[in-house]
Structure 1
């Protein structure tokens, strides 16, 4: 893998590692009522024929049940069709249970691991970056297993660097960051982060509109009223721009870029990251 600390050229969409990691959304077929099933008057001994009022009530109840089934089935079909049209798939997320996302005012929005950890690993990433998606799918789960869930005194901070959409006539790098902040408001950042990478499209393709970002939130069963309001209001629009400026001020020119205890490292693959982390851990003892 090329050194991502150098100025980055727009990558070939075929390099998009996330395209190999999709899993299709599925839906169940709505149950269908049997139109021929109805209670009928009996002529057997001991049977009682329904009164006209009882028969009318029975038919109304039956119609209500049919209507409910049809409405439920229609909703399932519409949601499934929408996800197919939008091209959204949801894979099994990495298990981040009991590791909450946190938003602070000092540009440290998303963190895993204890705040008092002696070793801090920071990743600058753009949700359109195929190499970031590659790290997310192939290396991040191993990193979490090696250092976060095992309490090795390491914390991980994700720092957005939305830059791939610069001068491209769209804001996809920025809007995905805004959406991630809105998901974090509901403590669902890591689920949304995972889904953004799993559904990554070619750079600047115009896919990540507000409507598609909202559809992703709905598929993840977020509170869509709150999420949509957050996104539509532009609550984190300035924050996304500030994140890009902060990264550039720090000397970040490409993604993914990693810092360990405030030192930029020469990241090439997970082994290079692990070597740098182990060295930092050793220096704290």
Structure 2
């Protein structure tokens, strides 16, 4: 079974949908600070069936030993299997969970994965992990440095998980938008994920001036991209509508900050992971779905 490494892209399939309306601030989550106006979303005709249930996981910054709080939605609202978190928080999330079901019915199950990246990993992997991120976001960088590579090694490269990335611009200014656009221009030459890695590996903070035209071009040259094609793509803003459509998808789902993750399990169950949780949290969640 072939694995799509970061130097190889594949077309993004459509799967399912989920929703987040957690407006609580926490140390692992970059709240949205600027709303981008956009037009009607793109559509896609290759969508799998709706998920069987939705599970929410909201952990501001807990240790693995503290346990996991899980709220379940099975064709309605059903909260169960929660450990180590106040019931009031779970009850507070009921309106959010209800809204997810409404968004599934109104918008269809493709809102979560359309307007995203190419697949990273095997297309046949039983679990899909979707990240909504911003290339300048401090906590997205933390996830990339501390968690992403371990997920790659233990789950993606073993054909258990495939990854999709969706742009959610939350940092004020235009730099994050330009960085995101550059990844899609690299995608035209089959280098989306290599450029994605290049950006995070050269990250220098939020709005510190590192996302310049010169740097974006330098990253493209380092990947041996055709610079005429890359420059033309950038100057024509070829992928801006897709990026703003991805942002609108996030708004539709009620996502207000980055990183936000959604997991689609082997039985089409959905689960939300809030913020840059440590690898051990992801491991517990992924393993729980793989054991089904």
TM-score relative to the length of structure 1: 0.59
**Equivalence for 1:163:** 170
**Equivalence for 1:202:** 205
**Equivalence for 2:271:** 263
Which of 87, 91, 96 lines up with 2:5 in the alignment?
96
Gaps of at least 5 residues in structure 2 are 14-112, 265-269
* Contact 2:127/2:263 (8 A) holds in 1: yes
Shift, 1:263, TM fit: 2.1
Shift, 1:184, TM fit: 0.9
**Equivalence for 1:222:** 225
Shift, 1:259, TM fit: 0.8
Whose RCO is larger (CA < 8 A, sep 6+)? 2
* Contact 1:111/1:157 (8 A) holds in 2: yes
**Equivalence for 1:3:** none
**Equivalence for 2:284:** 275
Which of 229, 234, 241 lines up with 2:237 in the alignment?
234
Moved more, 106-115 or 224-233: 106-115
**RMSD (Å) for aligned C-alpha atoms:** 2.2
Gaps of at least 5 residues in structure 1 are 1-94
Larger radius of gyration: 1
Deviations 1:29-72 (A, max 9, x none): xxxxxxxxxxxxxxxxxxxxxxxxxxxxxxxxxxxxxxxxxxxx
Deviations 1:198-238 (A, max 9, x none): 11123123332333312221122211111111001110111
C-alpha distance in 1, partners of 2:6/2:174?
31
**Equivalence for 2:253:** 250
Shift, 1:157, TM fit: 1.1
Q: Which has a greater percent of strand? A: 2
TM-score relative to the length of structure 2: 0.58
Shift, 1:116, TM fit: 3.4
Shift, 1:196, TM fit: 0.5
Matching of residue 129 in structure 1 with residue 137 in structure 2:
yes
